[in-house]
């Protein structure tokens, strides 16, 4: 009778070079083999009659990389070098000494792809939620005196650039408007301190809020307004920016995004600036929408007709001829001339053709130079006009 042959798998082994602790320059050929006893390896060195039996916990093995030579430091100072890092891992694993989990993940395509996807998701989440959250919390910690100092610097700089000139409105008219503005928010909860300034910038109809609670009205918007209710609405909008600290939050968000983008993209400044711009645009639209909410809330609480604000927006739309983002491009072109750019804080920024802006209906022809809303710092002006019309207490119910 012929008995079936049973074979025992050969123990895992790998070739190595041994450098003695004595400092000998000549390496000795060696072979590392997983011992039959769990937790030990045999190291057979040329010229040594008996193989060394060493516990795996006495081996200090370097991390495994794809093609790099690995080193094993022994307790007596001898050093082993192994060219086949993957086989060494198999030998050590057979002896009970496994690669670290992170090392195993680095050599698994599935784990690499999973890590890549998770990293992208984490980066996006951080960009959308973590950075804004951190900036918003930091904005609450900035002392009001610091923000007011920033306002003074900004206004002073605009004056020195001749961007802002003295208002032509009479002191009586300015006081009248300030009183109306103060009355509009007198009962508002957690009302911040605001300072209203009047300046002239040609015929530009605009108003903007600064981080420290300064609200600037230009003569152009006062003259363009259909009535004082509309100006109270503009004030309420800018007051919303101050109330929610939009200026400081935007400043801090931009600073944080700039720092992260510069760290991530390094010298690729164009990509970094694109990331900052896209984020900035989204933040600005969100802030403008929130400020519009505040304007509607305040006007309705004072029984002011929001249709007056909608009418002012129509007049500003028809007055501009092009959107404010186009003005920004024009401002850049003016940089090399004596003309002064306008500050970037518009109440509205969309585009229509004056020839179609009839008072009978809201339909207008959009300028061919207008830009998509997702590339604008403000929500679409037609939607804002429609909203203010619809928010009126006198508006017909659907």
pLDDT at 130: 85
Q: What is the DSSP string of 316-384?
A: HHHHHSS-HHHHHHHHHHHTTSSPPPPPS--S------GGG--TT-S--PPPTT---GGGSSS--HHHH
Integer-rounded Cα radius of gyration of the chain: 36
Beta bridge partners of 31: 15, 44
Average pLDDT of the residues in 291-320: 93
Average pLDDT of the residues in 289-308: 94
Average pLDDT of the residues in 138-164: 88
Average pLDDT of the residues in 359-385: 51
Q: How far is it, in rounded angstroms, from Cα 20 to Cα 342?
A: 76
Average pLDDT of the residues in 115-138: 84
How many percent of the chain have pLDDT more than 70?
A: 74
How confident is residue 294, by pLDDT bands cut at 50, 70 and 90?
very high
pLDDT at 37: 67
Give every CB contact of residue 302 below 8 A, 6+ residues apart in sequence: 183, 184, 232
Give the tens place of pLDDT for each residue, 24-64.
778 999 999 998 667 889 999 998 899 999 898 888 888 88
Give the tens place of pLDDT for each residue, 314-328.
999 888 643 444 333
Q: b or e along 236-258 (b: 16 or more beta carbons within 10 Å of the residue's beta carbon)? A: bbbbbbbbbbbbbbbbbbbebbb
Domains of the chain (ranges, CATH numbers): 13-100 (2.30.29), 143-391 (no CATH)
pLDDT at 14: 93
Give the tens place of pLDDT for each residue, 329-343.
333 333 333 333 333
pLDDT at 6: 46
Average pLDDT of the residues in 302-320: 92
Tallying the residues shown for the chain, one arrives at 398
Highest mean pLDDT, choosing among 133-142, 145-154, 227-236, 263-272: 227-236
- Given a cut of 60, is residue 367 above it in pLDDT? no
CB 247 within 8 A of CB 255: no
Q: Kindly report the three-state secondary structure assignment for every residue of 346-365.
A: CCCCCCCCHHHCCCCCCCCC
């Amino acid at each position: 009778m012929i008995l079936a042959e049973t074979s025992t798998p050969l123990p895992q082994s790998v070739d190595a070079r041994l450098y003695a602790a004595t400092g000998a320059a000549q390496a000795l050929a060696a072979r590392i083999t997983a011992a039959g006893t769990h937790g030990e390896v045999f190291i057979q060195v040329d010229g040594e009659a008996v193989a060394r039996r060493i516990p795996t916990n006495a081996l200090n093995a370097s991390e495994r990389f794809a093609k790099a030579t690995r080193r094993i430091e022994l307790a007596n100072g001898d050093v082993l070098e192994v060219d086949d890092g993957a086989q060494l891992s198999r030998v050590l694993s057979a002896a009970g000494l496994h690669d670290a989990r992170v090392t195993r993940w680095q050599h698994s395509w599935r784990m690499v792809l999973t890590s890549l996807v998770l990293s992208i998701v984490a980066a996006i989440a951080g960009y959308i939620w973590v950075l804004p959250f951190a900036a918003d919390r930091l904005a609450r910690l900035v002392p009001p005196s610091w923000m007011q100092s920033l306002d003074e610097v900004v206004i002073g700089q605009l004056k020195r650039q001749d961007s802002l000139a003295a208002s032509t409105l009479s002191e009586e008219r300015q006081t009248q408007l300030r009183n109306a503005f103060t009355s509009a928010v007198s009962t508002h909860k957690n009302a911040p301190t605001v300072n209203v300034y009047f300046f002239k910038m040609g015929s530009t109809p605009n108003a903007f809020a600064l981080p420290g609670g300064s609200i600037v009205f230009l003569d152009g918007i006062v003259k363009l307004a259909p009535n004082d209710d509309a100006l109270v609405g503009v004030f309420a909008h800018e007051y919303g920016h101050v109330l929610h600290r939009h200026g400081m939050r935007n400043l801090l968000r931009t600073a944080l995004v700039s720092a992260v983008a510069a760290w991530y993209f390094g010298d690729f400044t164009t990509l970094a600036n694109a990331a900052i711009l896209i984020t900035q645009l989204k933040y600005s639209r969100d802030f403008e929408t929130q400020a519009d909410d505040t304007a509607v809330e305040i006007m309705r609480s004072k029984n002011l007709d929001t249709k007056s604000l909608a009418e002012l927006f129509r007049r500003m739309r028809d007055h501009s001829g092009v959107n404010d983002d186009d003005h920004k491009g024009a401002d850049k072109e003016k940089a090399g001339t004596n003309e002064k750019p306008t500050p970037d804080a518009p109440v509205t920024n969309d585009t229509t053709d004056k020839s179609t802006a009839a008072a009978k209906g809201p339909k207008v022809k959009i300028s061919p130079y207008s830009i998509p809303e997702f590339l604008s710092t403000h929500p679409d002006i037609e939607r804002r006009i429609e909203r203010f019309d619809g928010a009126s207490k006198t508006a017909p119910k659907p």
